Structure 1
Amino acid sequence: MKSPKSIILVLIALLFVTEAHYAQDTNSQAFWVHEDPVYPAKVADYEEYCSILANNCKKFNIDTAHWYTVSTDDLRYFHLSPIDNMADLDKSRFSGLQSKMGEQEFNQLFDNFDNCYDTHSDYIIHLDNELSYMPGGVDIAEDGLEFRKLEFWYTTPQNFNKVLDLAMQFKQLYAKKNSPEHYRVYRSGFGAPGQFILVAISAKSPEDYERIRKENKELLAEERNKIYEQLLSSIIRVETLNGYMRRDLSYIPAGTK
């Protein structure tokens, strides 16, 4: 986690850079991502601090903070905060919490976070409802499906629109075949480490994911391969991560999902 002062500076910068995008994009949900690559020796401490932060937000019913946490096998923690409008970017999420906890305890908590890594990053991604394949409705939480397969497909600015077009072809194929493999597609936004689409697949477990993946591949057969080959020729690299939705480290205010 970043210090409150650093968070405010990031948000102010995003306020001006992303205004035009929000005004035009009505079919996506933006998320501010805070990513922490944690020292192996500090994982237990880091999770304890995350839990303290989430529990205090819950205890004091802080309505300006809201995030989902996903941890991955390479000890990265992704905290995703939904952004509904431009005003959200200009809010200090934890100002109310600081006054409730007390300044000394609050500042000490964030100082503790800083001992758990040597770098971290903030950026924006956009959940694209049009490109996502979830017949029952797009839902990032998906109760009971805690496992996450995260696929980052990096491309060049010149090929980004082509990759988006191929993503739409995949969705149309999945829908035509009534595929059992549901997924969400995110587009990289301001401050992201490269240009990519992120495909997030939920399952009960790694074994459940492998079962669904195999069934889906057999179902789509050669039609999938044709699109997949075009995708491989349009990207520059792929990063695949296994992770879990961490509800114990997340904070969703009462009355929201």
Structure 2
Amino acid sequence: MKTAKTTLVLLLLLLLLCLTCNISQAQKMFSVHQDNVKPSMVMEYEKIAKEFNAASVEHNAQAEWFTAVSNDFKYFYISPIENFADLDKRPFADMAKAMGDKFGDIFNRFDKCYDSHGNYIVVHDEELSYMPDGAQEAQEGQNYRKWFFMYYPPENAKKVKEGMKAVKELFTSKGSKSYYRIYRNGFGSMENYYMVSISAKDEVDGATQAKANEEVLGPDRWETFNKVINYISRMEEYSGEMRPDLSYSPKKE
């Protein structure tokens, strides 16, 4: 039994090491906190979120996050991290000490607004993203988002990645003006997926871009798209927006 436990621990450590090595090869890693807000509590949740942001500004909390909201009332707080060690940091420790009971009260009120929430890591895959101009995650004036999640079984990982590369090559060869970023699941996710994130000014602008891109890529585009679609288990589509008013970064000294 002792030998079995030792072997299990070694395997887990090896898995974590492999994950760390694979992620380090990517450009950016993000820790995501997701709140699945009850529709009936959205207004109250927004009020508390703005209150928390104001308190973070007041106390100059040593944290940073971008906030996104999906059309099904999910709120995402996305923080860039360098490595897994960043997860052990306590950026709100000084703020909590200064605020006393008020700090805990904010989170007690948050808890009434959702039935579930959690944390996980996503990785920005620059190799598969199509961003010829090198645009950053946050683009001024383009806060509307379309997100496409493509889930795939482990046995199809290589085929899906090859298909994603083929799609990028198609966009590049056609000089497409419809840019996209690719994110993939990281530590804490139970399923494998790629997420395609497309920015636009608003819903109308997004639809206009998509229609124009169909003409640019031409009728044969589905031959390339099928190199991905044929190997995924399902696809989910969401719309949403980035929320600069709920995002935060500390003052620079």
TM-score, normalised to structure 2, is 0.89
Indicate if the aligned counterparts of 1:40 and 1:75 stay in contact, CA closer than 8 A.
yes
Q: Which residue of 1 aligns with 2:19?
A: 21
- Measure the CA separation in 1 of the matches of 2:17 and 2:111: 30
Match of 2:131 among 130, 134, 148: 134
Segment of structure 1 superposing worse, 146-155 or 174-183: 174-183
2:197 aligned with 1:227: no
What is the one-letter code of the residue matched to 1:195? N
Match of 2:97 among 72, 96, 99: 99
Distance 1:27 1:138, change over 3 A: farther
What is the one-letter code of the residue matched to 2:90? S
Q: Deviation string for 1:3-52 (max 9, x for gaps)?
A: xxxxxxxxxxxx99745433442332111111111111110111111111
Indicate if the aligned counterparts of 1:166 and 1:231 stay in contact, CA closer than 8 A.
yes
- Measure the CA separation in 1 of the matches of 2:166 and 2:193: 17
- Measure the CA separation in 1 of the matches of 2:190 and 2:43: 27
- Measure the CA separation in 2 of the matches of 1:250 and 1:164: 32
Count of paired positions: 240
- Measure the CA separation in 2 of the matches of 1:247 and 1:22: 30
2:84 aligned with 1:58: no
- Measure the CA separation in 2 of the matches of 1:118 and 1:206: 29
Q: Percent identity?
A: 37
Q: Which residue of 1 aligns with 2:3?
A: none
Unaligned runs of 5+ in 2: 1-12
- Measure the CA separation in 2 of the matches of 1:60 and 1:16: 40
Q: Deviation string for 1:161-213 (max 9, x for gaps)?
A: 21111111111111111111111100111112421000000000010001110
Indicate if the aligned counterparts of 2:174 and 2:217 stay in contact, CA closer than 8 A.
yes
Q: Which residue of 2 aligns with 1:214?
A: 211
Segment of structure 1 superposing worse, 169-178 or 144-153: 169-178
Q: Which residue of 2 aligns with 1:35?
A: 34
Q: Which residue of 1 aligns with 2:4?
A: none
Q: How does 1:101-120 map to 2 (within 5 A)?
A: 102-120=99-117
What is the one-letter code of the residue matched to 1:38? V
Q: Which residue of 2 aligns with 1:86?
A: 84
- Measure the CA separation in 1 of the matches of 2:88 and 2:69: 27
- Measure the CA separation in 2 of the matches of 1:61 and 1:41: 31
Q: Which residue of 2 aligns with 1:250?
A: 247
Q: How far apart are residue 74 of structure 1 and its match? A: 0.8
TM-score, normalised to structure 1, is 0.88
Unaligned runs of 5+ in 1: 1-14
Q: Deviation string for 1:132-173 (max 9, x for gaps)?
A: 111111411111101000100011011122111111111111
Indicate if the aligned counterparts of 1:132 and 1:184 stay in contact, CA closer than 8 A.
yes
- Measure the CA separation in 2 of the matches of 1:93 and 1:113: 19
Give the 3-state SS of the residue equivalent to 1:133 in structure 2: coil
Distance 1:108 1:126, change over 3 A: same
- Measure the CA separation in 1 of the matches of 2:196 and 2:44: 30
Q: Which residue of 1 aligns with 2:200?
A: 203
Distance 1:131 1:254, change over 3 A: farther
Q: Which has the larger radius of gyration?
A: 2
Distance 1:250 1:16, change over 3 A: farther
Distance 1:255 1:130, change over 3 A: farther
Alignment root-mean-square deviation, CA: 1.9
Runs of 4+ in 1 over 2 A off after TM superposition: 15-28, 252-256
What is the one-letter code of the residue matched to 1:29? K
- Measure the CA separation in 2 of the matches of 1:18 and 1:79: 24
Q: How does 1:133-212 map to 2 (within 5 A)?
A: 133-212=130-209
Q: Which residue of 1 aligns with 2:233?
A: 236
Match of 1:69 among 67, 73, 96: 67
